[in-house]
Structure 1
Amino acid sequence: MDVVSDAISAVRVGRPSSQRVRIGGSWCTRLAPYEGAGFHVVLEGGCWVLPDGGEPVALGAGDAVLLPHGAGHVLADAPVDTEGLARAVPFERWSDGTVERPLLTAAHEGRPVVEMLCGKYRLDRSHVHPLLAELPPLVHLPHRAESSPELRAAIGLLGHEAGERLPGSGVALPSLLDLLLVYMIRSWAAVSTAGTWPAALGDPVTATALRALHTDPAAPWTIDRLAAEAGVSRPTLARRFTALVGRPPMAYLTWWRLTRAAALLRDTPDPLASVARRVGYSTPYALSHAFRREFGTTPGQYRAGRAAATAD
């Protein structure tokens, strides 16, 4: 596994949800803060997204926007003032027909029409990887000829799949939404000039060490073995890794092993002994001791609490 895939897998819960919306004229709808990540993909036309506490952002056809921390926001046909924001219709009522809105065809009286895919990813934020924590409140990925061809291809496939009731769409659409999340984060990392994680993933020494730790976290890693894997001396690895990742290599490994253990406790029925072996601990007791020191709770208590949260 690689860092981006593991960072997503560690927090993702259940399946993403989405709705295809087509609207024209004057409109304004609000999406409340969410314990997950929200996204919008504009398939046709244009609109504005107004994040809570942030500046309005214009979206055009082919644009994608990710709200990785679930920030509340407003979607509208144009920027609106404070009074207009207060009148924004809740998205749930607006999208399910509780509040009437005009569903238009592209030729409806010549009015501008916007068609978009709006959705959410469910995330367990109890142990977020620092790569995801470093994402800004809103990631705008405009459609440009030089932008990620993979992202543009995924948006095109999503537009087709979400608009047609085709055989297998129940499997295809969630898979494409998962792919969209990966491509949005990858595209952000490729162009971001802020934060340390894009630099960490772009540094050959640090990236090689991270890849090794994520590929086999249960291996008996030492700083010497990891330095040899990265092809540098111990001091060089320690200096570059710590500067870019924010903690020394072995401290990061311990944190990642325990984070993986938390994900396995949440997502699988595997016994504690099996979880311990999979993340590099020789005994359940050793894992329990480290887990409690890191997260302030026992593995059993954590598993029970996450099961109750999921049931709710």
Structure 2
Amino acid sequence: MDPLGDLLDGVRAHTAAFCQAVLDPPWSLRICDEAPLGLAVPLRGHAWVVPDDGEPVLIEAGDVAVVQGPAPYTVADAVTTEPTVFVHPGNRLVTADGEDITMRKRIGASTNALGLGGAGSTLLASGAYQVRSVVSGRLLAALPTVLRVPREQVQSPIMDLLHAEVNRDAPGQQIVLDRLLDLALIATLRAWFARPGGDPPGWYRAHGDPVVGRALRFVHEDPARPWTVAGLAAVTGVSRASFARRFTDLVGQPPMAYLTQWRLDLAAESLRGSDATLSAIARRVGYANAFALTVAFKRVKGTTPQQFRAG
């Protein structure tokens, strides 16, 4: 798997709260659902995404915004509009005066259509993602609080499919919505990283390089192999010095530093997500024993594996 695929693997729309809201101005949604990632796209009209600490971002019809949580933020018709509805975990909808309107209008078994007006000037679709993977932290670190991709750059029919699916009432609808939201996120991030004048992270740029991209795939697919700079240079068909220089220039860190970080991220993932012993995790990610993993883990992450698991 390529690096983006690996980092996205722990980001999932699982029983996702996908919502379409018909909104007449003035309107303002306060997003307090604590989701690590949110997606918003106006299917008609426009919206402002207003983080508490950051610049407001305008999204027009068909644009896609990906917003980092879990801190609350506001989506509104104007930057100055006060919140009229608060979106809580579980897609629970509460008005500013405390009225729970979650069940006011429902389509199918799992998606809400929030009717706050008639025809409405804005039709807003939104979804939430859980990030259960420690590994995905590298992806989140590469993203701004709010990223916007214009409609013409997404070049994907996923949004149209989401719009169609949310208005259906068919068996398996939640699974379909979850998977469509996953695809929507992938399409949006691809477009954002590839945008003109963009500055994608080194690991993303390097994926397209015939030498470094191949080395990254080897490292991601088989982290336990006793890799060396010479070994990676050999499997990519270039000299050791040329490989080390090329890798460092593209990725932004030397090959062995990248390998160590990848192994320790995988170890952290296993510590949090499994009951495997430290020795088993060590062997799985390329360390000879638990002691060697503990030394590296504490040096890089500032805590022992046992403390990390307990925390």
Same fold (TM over 0.5): yes
Distance 1:68 1:240, change over 3 A: farther
Partner of 1:96: 93
Matched, 1:176 2:176: no
- Name which of 98, 102, 123 aligns with 1:115: 123
CA contact (8 A) 2:16 2:127 kept: yes
CA contact (8 A) 1:200 1:206 kept: yes
Distance 2:28 2:95 in 1: 15
- Name which of 159, 162, 166 aligns with 2:163: 159
Partner of 2:21: 22
Partner of 2:194: 190
Deviations 1:125-172 (A, max 9, x none): 86655443122222111212xx344xx222222222333232112322
SS of the aligned residue for 1:136 comes to coil
Distance 1:33 1:166, change over 3 A: closer
Identity over aligned pairs, percent: 39
Deviations 1:92-132 (A, max 9, x none): 27962544798267xx3xx5432222232233686655443
Distance 2:191 2:15 in 1: 20
Distance 2:180 2:217 in 1: 25
Distance 2:282 2:242 in 1: 31
Return the offset for 1:216.
1.1
Provide the aligned length of Structure 1 versus Structure 2.
Answer: 291
Return the offset for 1:244.
2.5
Partner of 2:36: 36
Gap regions ≥5 residues in structure 1: 306-312
Distance 1:302 1:14, change over 3 A: farther
Partner of 1:302: 308
Gap regions ≥5 residues in structure 2: 102-113
Return the offset for 1:252.
0.8
Matched, 1:218 2:224: yes
**Aligned AA for 1:73?**
Y
Distance 1:296 1:35, change over 3 A: farther
CA contact (8 A) 1:16 1:122 kept: no
Distance 1:35 1:20 in 2: 14
Distance 1:212 1:179, change over 3 A: same
SS of the aligned residue for 1:210 comes to helix
- Name which of 232, 240, 252 aligns with 2:246: 240
Partner of 2:67: 67
Return the offset for 1:217.
0.9
User: Which structure shows the higher helix fraction?
Assistant: 1
Give me the TM-score of the superposition, normalised by structure 1: 0.80
Partner of 2:104: none
